[in-house]
Chain A
Amino acid sequence: MFDFLNNNKVRFILFQLIVIAIVLYIGYNAINNLGFNIERLGIRSGFDFLDTRAGFGISEYFIDYTIDSSNLQVFYVGLINTLVVSVIGIILASILGLIIGIARLSKNYLISRLANAYIELFRNIPILLQILFWYNLALSVLPSPRNSMALFDAIFLNLRGIYLPKPIAEDGFIWVFVALIVGIVAMFINKRRFAKKRDETGIRTNTIGYSLLFVIALPSVVYFAIGAPMHFDYPSLQGFNFKGGIAFSPEFLALVLALSIYAATYIAEAIRSGIESVDQGQTEAALAMGLSYTQTLKLVLLPQAFRVAIPPIINQYLNLTKNSSLAAAIGYADLVGVFAGTVLNQVGQAIEVLLMTMAVYLTISLIISLILNIVNHRMRIIGLNP
């Protein structure tokens, strides 16, 4: 009667169905149980809390926020703080990782050993400890606001953070911006012109001088020609703290520093493995053809190395973004700190708040994965005989 169970195909499908049934059963019960318990315990539920007044202060924000803002605004403040830290961290980690990765392969013994020591040191210490270390170190060595370290009386560094002059555009500044865009376009046209010349005649021209002329000199000339339509808001010490200018807190600085130093070790290793994946013969051939070592690196090694290195590098970007949630440990006002922390505690609706927070990280991760897939697709090796 149960002979059909001996059929492989039937068994295959049957087991799949059983697994699906079990998963659905567990999921259904978990949700049901949750709803039952919430109701039984009289815990408020739903998303109404997003519209209610937050009522607490936030230490650092890049968009408008007052204590009368809604909890939804807190969500945006936290989200933007998370994104700012992640983006700046990713940029710094990439630059640092590239330098260390190349230094790791340097023929200079001291440089390569130093780069190696850097990687082994920072890669093998948990990131949370590094964040706490940089934060407490910063607080221990930085001076009080009254004894700030100052640079040209415009940039100040103290226990409360770093204060920079804030540029404020006046009427007409838009033309400087236009000039900059024109300059950038001109730079590319110019580069293409000389690339064409190189292809036709074989004569290389260094275009850096032209580029600077277009991108820096042109907007500068426009800026002064229309009467310097910009002024700076300088930070100044008033009472307890500096006022004015742009300020970044020590929490922000420690977090960005720790995240980029940590991610840079992995990026450096990815770059190194990328470079090492390119056959030694190619370097020798390039050098034999008369390219300098820098040219070899720039024209032969790195373009091929990136193909191998970019997938792991983008994974590190993903990790860095996720690790930024450790900000809560030092009190940087990121999404986890202000929304999944303070808001959760004030309204007590853990499930709704955490679901929203998880959805944000999931979305960011999926977007980065998508970018990775596109890059992978575009950088795949295209065979000579398709």
Chain B
Amino acid sequence: MNKLLQFSVASLLAVTGFSASADTLSDVRSKGILSCGVSTGLAGFSSVDKHHKWTGLDVDFCKAVAAATLGDSSKVKYIPLTGKERFTALQGGEIDILSRVTTWTQTRDTSLGLNFAGVIYYDGQGFMVKKNSGIKDASELGGATFCVNEGTTTELNLADYAKSEGFSYKLATTDTIAQTKSNFELGRCDVLTTDQSRLYALRTTLKDPSSAIVLPNIISKEPLAPVVRQGDNKWFNIVRWTLNAMLTAEELGVTSANVDKASNNSEINRLLGHTGTMGKNLGLDKKWSYHIIKQVGNYSEIFERNIGVNTPINISRGLNALWTKGGIMYSPPFR
């Protein structure tokens, strides 16, 4: 009876007392761990490696936020989410940050109660076909069956593209990336369409990667961004400046290897918290960005480690190079 009473009171409190706290930083600190929403498995961005550890660009970003807020990049709980679960999980407070190849669009930014904290990867939607189909260009795709992932901008872009190009098409829509890939391999569809970075990642996981080619066409802008709940500006600032710190570190040549070396450059000293009050402004320890770079690395390091030209995924920096090197990655100054 006593147990039952306790349970009833607990559930009563759970229902009536629930209201996602407005202060994510305090929540994360009191839990001692960062809950990070990632994909259900996408090589290079967030997937489980053979040692059963999460790795990838998106995963490294989760680690960077954990390093900045908790001082320890390993204090992350990864929560794999499908395309259609991700926003509800964030809105409902199940995760503190969504770092899951999510495209920043006007509608999502303005109507979901969410904020996009800067672009971590500039992507665009592309097509992958079987090599033996002989297709060389997207203009030859009329009448084909497309494999797409449910609940993504991909579905909308494909519909718009087909309409403007005036071709008809068929769809095979699936819920998980794994099923989409398997459908493509088995021939359920002629074309797999999603963000181009993802196509390269998926291609490496095919039974025979050389049996498929990624077409050169790009049909949309897909800026992938980490997402936080709207209304917690402090947390929003932390996530945004975690990304900026990694970009600025690359720009200034600060890496996980040389971060301990003393420098005369005053911006480096401000970035690393040797001078100034940047950590305090964010409500963080003054070594917040030192932890990020020491434990995770700068943007170039996480890019090259996970998806760069020396990995199986083999993506060159392109648009994602720094603004000083022909790309559009640009951080506001640390001043």
Write the residues of chain A forming the contact surface with B, with a CB cutoff of 8 angstroms: 22, 25-26, 29-30, 33, 36-38, 40-44, 55-59, 67, 136, 139-140, 144, 159-160, 238-241, 243, 249-251, 328-331, 333, 337, 341-342, 344-348, 350
Q: Determine the chain A residues whose CB is within 8 A of the CB of B142 once the complex forms.
A: 239
Question: Is there an interface contact between B19 and A240, defined as CB atoms closer than 8 Å?
Answer: no
Given A37-B20, A41-B91, A41-B229, 9 more pairs with CB closer than 8 A: A30-B15, A38-B113, A42-B230, A42-B231, A55-B156, A58-B173, A241-B143, A345-B84, A348-B91
Question: Is there an interface contact between A331 and B175, defined as CB atoms closer than 8 Å?
Answer: yes
CB interface residues, B 171-191, toward A, < 8 Å: 171-175, 179, 182-183, 186-188, 190
Docked CA distance A64–B145 (Å): 19
Question: Is there an interface contact between A240 and B143, defined as CB atoms closer than 8 Å?
Answer: yes
Give 21 CB contacts A-B under 8 Å.
Answer: A25-B16, A26-B12, A29-B15, A37-B19, A41-B229, A43-B111, A43-B112, A55-B156, A55-B159, A56-B158, A59-B172, A67-B160, A67-B163, A159-B187, A249-B172, A341-B175, A342-B155, A345-B84, A345-B151, A346-B151, A346-B156
Question: Is there an interface contact between A58 and B91, defined as CB atoms closer than 8 Å?
Answer: no
Contact A57 to B171, CB < 8 A, known contacts A241-B144, A342-B155, A345-B151: yes
Question: Taking the complex as formed, is B88 at the interface, i.e. its CB lies under 8 A from any CB of chain A?
Answer: yes
Instruction: Say which residue of A26, A36, A250, A329 sits within 8 Å of B175 (CB atoms).
Output: A329
Question: Is there an interface contact between B113 and A33, defined as CB atoms closer than 8 Å?
Answer: no
B72 → A minimal CB distance (Å):
29
A81 → B minimal CB distance (Å):
12
Write the residues of chain B forming the contact surface with A, with a CB cutoff of 8 angstroms: 12, 15-16, 18-20, 22, 83-84, 87-88, 91, 107-108, 111-113, 142-145, 150-152, 155-156, 158-160, 162-163, 169-175, 179, 182-183, 186-188, 190, 229-231
Q: Determine the chain B residues whose CB is within 8 A of the CB of A329 once the complex forms.
A: 175
Q: How many A-B residue pairs have CB under 8 A?
A: 131
Question: Is there an interface contact between B188 and A159, defined as CB atoms closer than 8 Å?
Answer: yes
Contact A241 to B145, CB < 8 A, known contacts A67-B159, A341-B151: yes
Docked CA distance A239–B186 (Å): 19
Question: Is there an interface contact between A26 and B112, defined as CB atoms closer than 8 Å?
Answer: no
B57 → A minimal CB distance (Å):
23
Question: Is there an interface contact between A250 and B188, defined as CB atoms closer than 8 Å?
Answer: yes
Instruction: Say which residue of B91, B107, B145 sits within 8 Å of A240 (CB atoms).
Output: B145
- The 3 A-B pairs at the shortest CB distance, nearest first, are namely A345-B151, A41-B113, A43-B113
Docked CA distance A42–B187 (Å): 43
Instruction: Say which residue of A26, A57, A251 sits within 8 Å of B158 (CB atoms).
Output: A57
B129 → A minimal CB distance (Å):
10
Question: Is there an interface contact between B150 and A331, defined as CB atoms closer than 8 Å?
Answer: yes
